């Protein structure tokens, strides 16, 4: 399997309530609950994820949330109330591919921005594509983009863990992962921003 590239190996150890609820609105398989551990794995070529999910399910008790194959990438999500189940699923995949965590791509932050005192029209446009809480006019909005996409899951979860925010939406699939968080208090948005940045920057891996 020398042709396989491990784009993402993203472990969320303890899914926060909003993050779990928002994830649960989009997964097509087993539902996610707060407190679960979760693993995203993204591979190239995309079709390899079929055999990777197969070995993970046959060698662990982790449950799949989704299986996505895009033009370039394939991505799977696994979760369990027991982190050992998720870790075993990940080990099975790494053993099959003869890869290690050192082979995953180190994420990079593509952009971070804060929109203060969101205009009602912009709030309505963002709400049309949301999977979480409503963004209200006058709130402050944090937007972050990372590459590879699935690492945004760690950023979202850590932001919720450290700050009093609302999770408006996030998308861990595609070239870039994006998150939208809001709060009445700008200081909470800045705390969330710092927690998200530190979480992404702390992930080890190789440069793409």
Q: Walk along the chain (208 residues) in steps of 10 and give the mean pLDDT of each run.
A: 84 96 88 96 92 96 93 92 97 95 95 97 93 94 96 98 97 92 98 98 90
Rounded to whole angstroms, the Cα distance separating 23 from 16 reads 10
The CATH H-level superfamily of 5-103 is BMC (bacterial microcompartment) domain (3.30.70.1710)
Q: In the chain, list all ranges with CATH 3.30.70.1710.
A: 5-103, 108-201
Cis? peptide before 191, omega within 30° of 0: no
Closest residue by Cα to residue 155 from 116, 105, 194? 194
Q: Give one DSSP letter per residue of 165-177, joined into a string.
A: -EEEEEE-SSSSE
Q: What angle do CA 43, 48, 53 make, to 5 degrees?
A: 90
pTM score, whole prediction: 0.93
Determine which helix (DSSP H) or strand (DSSP E) holds 52, and give its type and residue range.
helix 49-59
pLDDT at 75: 94
Q: What is the CATH number of domain 108-201?
A: 3.30.70.1710
pLDDT at 208: 66
């Amino acid at each position: 399997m020398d042709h396989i590239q491990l784009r993402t190996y993203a472990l969320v150890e303890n899914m926060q309530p909003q993050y779990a609820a928002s994830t649960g609105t989009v997964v097509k398989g087993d539902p996610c609950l707060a407190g679960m551990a979760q693993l995203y794995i993204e591979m190239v070529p995309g079709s390899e994820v079929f055999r990777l999910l197969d070995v993970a399910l046959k060698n662990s008790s982790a449950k799949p949330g989704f299986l996505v194959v895009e033009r370039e990438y394939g991505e799977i999500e696994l979760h369990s109330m027991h982190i050992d189940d998720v870790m075993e699923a990940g080990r099975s995949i790494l053993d099959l591919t003869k890869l290690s965590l050192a082979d995953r791509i180190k994420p990079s932050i593509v952009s971070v921005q804060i929109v203060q005192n969101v205009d009602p029209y912009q709030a309505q446009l963002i709400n049309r594509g949301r999977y979480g809480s409503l963004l209200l006019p006058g709130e402050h909005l944090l937007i972050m983009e990372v590459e590879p996409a699935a690492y945004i899951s760690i950023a979202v979860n850590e932001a919720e863990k450290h700050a009093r925010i609302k999770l408006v939406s996030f998308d861990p699939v595609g070239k870039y992962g994006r998150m939208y968080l809001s709060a009445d208090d700008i200081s909470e948005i800045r705390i969330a921003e710092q927690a998200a940045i530190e979480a992404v920057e702390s992930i080890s891996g190789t440069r793409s």
